Amino acid sequence: MGESQGGESPPVIDGAFARWLAGRAGQLLMEVRAEVGHDDPAALKAAGDKRAHDFLMSELARHRPADAVLSEEQQDARGVLAGEGTRLDAKRVWIIDPLDGTREFSEEGRADWAVHVALWGAGCAHPNRLAAGAVALPAQHRVIATDHPPAYPPMPVASATGGKLRLAASRSRPPAFLSGLAEEIGAELVPMGSAGAKIAAVISGEVDAYVHAGGQYEWDSAAPVAVATATGLHASRVDGSALEYNGANPRLPDLVVCRKDLAPRLLSALRGHLQVP
């Protein structure tokens, strides 16, 4: 981290602070890409993960010392805590993914990777208790955040003119049911990396929805869901229940994010494909 980042006073308000953190971590990741290059993808991934994680943890400790942190790069984050952990007792928990879409980060020319920074608050009135969030998409030169949430997305041209819906899907591990779901509702799949990039595509109106099931953690969705709900989009589990964060086990395996007008249709179709109640 350069002196300009460490010496700069960050915003006081949580939403703006989240934007500040995500944006600067993203700048660092762009620097790592330039410094390390793409000849050794494993080395690039490791360097990026470490640089962004160290920066976020350092700045959170400096500017929010009383808050807890749940990070993908935290050694004990994947396990079930016994209940005595400070994170579960904390009133405020930052849920971060220093580099979401590591595979895409290591591939030259790809822009579908992100930095996620979210704040969970015990006293937050929102159903998922996400009080603030920011998603940096450094290679797309943008940060979206809850302090100034994007406008509600326009309906994609294809959808508005009677064409196929567009569903963002994982490049590497799309859920087995997704092809059948797409066929039923008349949709095409749009493969992308990073959950943050996929939800950002819903927010911008590039795609109509993002559906995932079978393997994610809280840090994969907390920040982009915070931004998506701040814009007025629908975000829930695939059975329609609320996404809940800061659990003892951070596994949060499925979600759907879409325009509100599309949610009843998608959730109804999902009930058939996943046999949810």
Please give the annotated binding residues for Mg(2+), written as ranges. 72, 97, 99-100, 220
Pairing of strands 234-236, 255-258: antiparallel
Q: Number of C-alpha atoms within 13 angstroms, CB side, residue 156?
A: 23
What's the CA angle centered on 246, arms 277 and 215, to 5 degrees?
A: 55
Classify burial at 184, counting beta carbons within 10 Å of its beta carbon; exposed 0-12, middle 13-18, buried 19 or more.
Answer: middle
- Binding site, residues? 72, 97, 99-100, 220
Q: Are strands 234-236 and 165-170 parallel, antiparallel or unpaired?
A: unpaired
Residue pair 58/203 in contact by the 8 Å Cβ criterion:
no
Q: How many residues does the chain have?
A: 277
